[in-house]
Amino acid sequence: MSSGRFAPSPSGDLHIGNLRTALLAWLCARRTGRDFVIRVEDLDRVREGAEARQLADLAAIGLDWDGPVVRQSERARFYDAALASLAGRGLVFECFCTRREILEAPSAPHAPPGSYPGTCRDLTEAEREARRQDRPAALRLRSDVATFTVQDALHGTYEGVVDDFVLRRGDGAVAYNLAVVVDDAQQGIDQVVRGDDLLSSAPRQAYLASLLGSTPPSYVHVPLALNTEGKRLAKRDGAVTLAELGPQTFGLIVASLGMHGSSPRELLETFEIEQIPRDPWIFVPPA
């Protein structure tokens, strides 16, 4: 069965922009006959009780999901297997660069700032052994393309940079780009609806999916909710969570989408992906 998903990180409570994206992910999945699943991306920051509150908030605005909640923290063996597969094909190398060194190094022509410049790509074994004495190595993908193209329902054809991105960090934690690709493939996720701040990561993930033998999903990168200064919505912007906004939360989200309905099921009756607004939603907390 093909599926869509919502994949929050349990680092805190969901704000109204997160809930808006979750609703759109649910609508896109249900409208196209897909299952809708929840995956908790808990490899990094985890705040006690946040997952339970997030799931309760999703249910409170009328969202349901299929099957049990999946947690990335319980899936290390699958990430290790993917890494081993890539390494066995010569597609992984050790990198000893700090973030600062990468930012300060000259980048390839036309590559955005911060793109990996290939510093450790072709080190000899003796050079790698010497550098292991100074710091643990991250593992990077040995990419053989400079760009990769994906299709997005709202943004059309999008070509983005693919550098030798990190698969496992120096502290041993699996990187987001690897985990999300492995998870999506194993969960049958063939539609990814998420904030458009992640559009630039889609080419990397789609390219990695193709290397691992998976078909990249279809993408729908939706506009974010921003504060009145045009910055990403955050707790500092006042009342932004369901607990703070109360029963009006769903109505505010629906109005921001130019839709009408008192429940997700009602919205589903007339929803079309092409109708999703293209511009960010400037959220002004109600007085």
156-193 tens-digit pLDDT: 999 999 999 999 999 999 999 999 999 999 999 999 99
* CB contact at 8 A, 63 and 26: yes
CA dist 175 and 152 (Å) reads 23
Chain mean pLDDT for the chain: 94
- Tell me whether residue 6 is annotated as binding: yes
Which pLDDT value is given to residue 108? 60
Q: Which two tokens stand for residue 113?
A: 């700032």
- Tell me whether residue 28 is annotated as binding: no
Contacts 24+ apart (CB under 8 A), 49-56: 50/10, 50/11, 50/12, 50/13, 51/10, 53/13, 53/14, 53/243, 54/8, 54/10, 54/13, 54/14
Task: To the nearest 10°, report the CA torsion of 258, 263, 266, 271.
Answer: 40
- Tell me whether residue 9 is annotated as binding: yes
- Tell me whether residue 41 is annotated as binding: yes
- Tell me whether residue 218 is annotated as binding: no
Res. 24: pLDDT tops 70: yes
- Tell me whether residue 36 is annotated as binding: no
Q: Name all domains of the chain by residue range, CATH numbers in brackets.
A: 3-74+223-282 (3.40.50.620), 77-168 (3.90.800.10)
- Confidence (pTM): 0.93
Which pLDDT value is given to residue 110? 62
Q: What is the pLDDT of residues 210-269, one digit of tens each?
A: 999 999 999 999 999 999 999 999 888 888 999 999 999 999 999 999 999 999 999 999
What residues are labeled active site?
A: 235
Which pLDDT value is given to residue 115? 83
Of the pLDDT bands very low, low, confident and very high (cuts 50, 70, 90), residue 203 is very high
Q: What is the pLDDT of residues 72-107, one digit of tens each?
A: 999 999 999 999 999 999 999 999 998 888 888 776
3-class SS letters over 64-100: CCCCCCEEHHHCHHHHHHHHHHHHHCCCEEEECCCHH
Residue 101's CB is within 10 A of a number of other CB atoms, namely 11
How many C-alpha atoms does 49 have within 13 Å on its Cβ side?
A: 0
Average pLDDT over residues 104-115: 71
Strand partners, 15: 241
